[in-house]
Structure 1
Amino acid sequence: MMLGAAALPLAARSAQAAADFMGAGQGRFFRFTLGAFEVTQLLAGVETLKNPHALFAADLEDEAFTTLTKAAHLPTGRARSFLIPTLVNTGKALVLIDTGRDPVGVVGALEAAGYLIEDIDIVALTHMHADHIGGLMGPNGPTFPNARIICGKMEYDAWDEAGDEAFDTNMLPLAAKIEVLSDGGDVVPGITAMEAFGHTLGHMVYRVENDGQTLLVAGDALAHHVFSFAHYEIAMAEDEDGPRAVKTRTELLKMLAETGVVLAGYHLPWPGLGFVAQSESGFTYVPHSYQLSWEEAPDEEPR
């Protein structure tokens, strides 16, 4: 009797303590060190994509696609795409790589991470698709008033010749601030552009290196954490030059697997950081767990 009587107030308190559902939540930035550099991943947006089969793996038979997605616990009819610019603080320059689809997302993430738009010294671009350059210009002008804009020469020339709404809106007004470079050119000491053509005609990736530690900021060369790895030999629907994109993807995956270099993927699951493993059947994406945030006091002993 005493137990039952005591349980009643507890049940009543539990019912009264029920909280409202809060909905999904997500941090806006993830920061780690790379040698003496500080790197911050910024969540500028999350988008839902329709028909991932056609988008990422059109050459894959229906049954094989379904088997692959189910093995990865993914829905077959839609995909989630993250927009993750990378911010590198070298100690002498603050370099933002890509900008999201609009200023709202990237500015909000920067503010959450403790930065002002005026702090950005350089914006380096992997390519000119709208979800990478859309944060450059706002209704009142340039989003980053003090920044120089750096991009690949071939990429700039291709879009300048072809014409495109996103390019015309976000790049042409900044023409006086734009600097172009080619394969092997340095954005600043420690950040080097590398050609990774195919997704677009002049797509670049950036190698960030300091004190023996290396990060590859891959843009859209590796766009999905399952399909781009398990079936790297299949071009994406948005690859402008499919065979060249496959060649680039294959070379990058081999390099990443052989060297253990950290991968920053713009559209990979937040925070877009991981490694590449190779087996006889192909490649696998290995998400970052605690490797990049390992902090240990000099005299700390494992338990």
Structure 2
Amino acid sequence: MHFTRRSFLKASGASAAAAGFGGQAVWAASELTVGSVRIDSLSDGFLNLPREFIFSPMPKDELGPVLAEMGVADGNLMPDCNVTLLRDGENTILFDVGSGSGFQQSAGQLLDALDAIEVAPEDITHVVFTHGHPDHLWGILDDFDEPLFYEAQHMMGRTEWDYWINPETAETIDASRTTMAVGARRRLEMMEESFVLFDDGEEILPGVAARLTPGHTPGHMAFEIRSGSESVLVVGDAIGNHHVAFARPQWSSGSDQDQERAAHTRARLMDQLSTEKMRLIGFHLPHGGIGHVEKRDDGYRFVPEGA
């Protein structure tokens, strides 16, 4: 498996991003090869989240030392958003599409990252979704509510689709997430004719297998990409950060819709990834999200590729 830091946003775009996003650097793409497949982790920018969004259900007396050890500073959290692109010589596949312009100002930069590696929206043959949250789904449409990846077949797990397309979801979801539900349903309804649904365990495209990883959302999917003897797991938000998710995977996270189930999924993934020494790409992990899981006495840690 070969890895290189690929590129940054063009100078003018990077300067504008830094000016508008509080000076945080915005990378464009990181590249690795898995067998004969090229994978790029593309930046959609980053989110700006209150700490309580993740930390609210965690034991406060234990949380502080973990955050200090991991070097997590005070103030809002600003996790990266990493969209995975796979090219196998025949298909050009996006895993998630970022948030577009309708969610947070600091995100929605995917088109710039694609441009940096000279991939146009019409080059995308398939768009595969881990789940239906705004930072993964809302970039499906452009600013005029037209399909952004108009040549692509769109794919989502059946359980996830059924959840977000259901009008009752907006009535039953936590009130803080109602906008997410309304926004997801509107976009999925507009794109319904372009979607194909799949189930857990299916090889949805050559060398790409769906793995149900529920809890963050009801039908959240990860995807195992395999070529020859090598593989990497696109984990989406099943592992949502590089600090407490690794150090204490069994802790509930406020970012998850079913916190108990998500913690069980997270702990199982940590064990699998560390035991099998399989690489992962995490949507909200640093360094393009590419790395591996290392077991520690009291938990795990994220080791970026090349570190």
Secondary structure of 2:67's counterpart equals: helix
Deviation string 1:64-104 (CA, Å, 9 cap, x unpaired) is 22222222222133212111110001211011001111065
1:209-228 → structure 2 map (5 Å cutoff): 209-228=226-245
Secondary structure of 2:78's counterpart equals: strand
Give the TM-score normalised by the residue count of structure 2.
0.83
Task: Write the distance in 1 (CA, Å) between the matches of 2:161 and 2:24.
Answer: 38
Deviation string 1:225-256 (CA, Å, 9 cap, x unpaired) is 01101111112113121121111111111000
Partner of 1:84: 82
Distance 1:247 1:61, change over 3 A: closer
| AA of the residue aligned to 2:125 | D
2:57, 2:253 within 8 Å by CA — same for their partners in 1?
A: no
**Structure 1 runs of 4+ with >4 Å offset:** 21-24
Offset, 1:61: 3.4
* Correspondent of 1:95 among 75, 93, 97: 93
Offset, 1:111: 0.8
Deviation string 1:176-231 (CA, Å, 9 cap, x unpaired) is 01011001112211011110011100000000000111110001000110110111
Offset, 1:63: 3.6
Task: Write the distance in 2 (CA, Å) between the matches of 1:152 and 1:83.
Answer: 21
Partner of 2:26: 26
| AA of the residue aligned to 1:67 | P
Partner of 1:41: 41
1:1-303 → structure 2 map (5 Å cutoff): 24-51=24-51, 54-102=52-100, 104-140=108-144, 141-161=146-166, 162-163=169-170, 164-289=181-306
Secondary structure of 1:29's counterpart equals: strand
Distance 1:88 1:179, change over 3 A: same
Task: Write the distance in 1 (CA, Å) between the matches of 2:272 and 2:56.
Answer: 26
Secondary structure of 2:165's counterpart equals: helix
Moved more, 54-63 or 132-141: 54-63
Partner of 1:10: none
Offset, 1:274: 0.9
| AA of the residue aligned to 2:117 | A
Task: Write the distance in 1 (CA, Å) between the matches of 2:26 and 2:88.
Answer: 27
1:57, 1:234 within 8 Å by CA — same for their partners in 2?
A: no
Deviation string 1:113-143 (CA, Å, 9 cap, x unpaired) is 1100000000000000011001100133000
Matched pairs, number: 268
Offset, 1:169: 3.1
Give the TM-score normalised by the residue count of structure 1.
0.84
Partner of 2:7: none
Offset, 1:276: 0.5
2:79, 2:285 within 8 Å by CA — same for their partners in 1?
A: yes
Moved more, 242-251 or 112-121: 242-251
| AA of the residue aligned to 1:289 | G
Offset, 1:58: 3.2
| AA of the residue aligned to 1:77 | G
Task: Write the distance in 1 (CA, Å) between the matches of 2:301 and 2:252.
Answer: 17
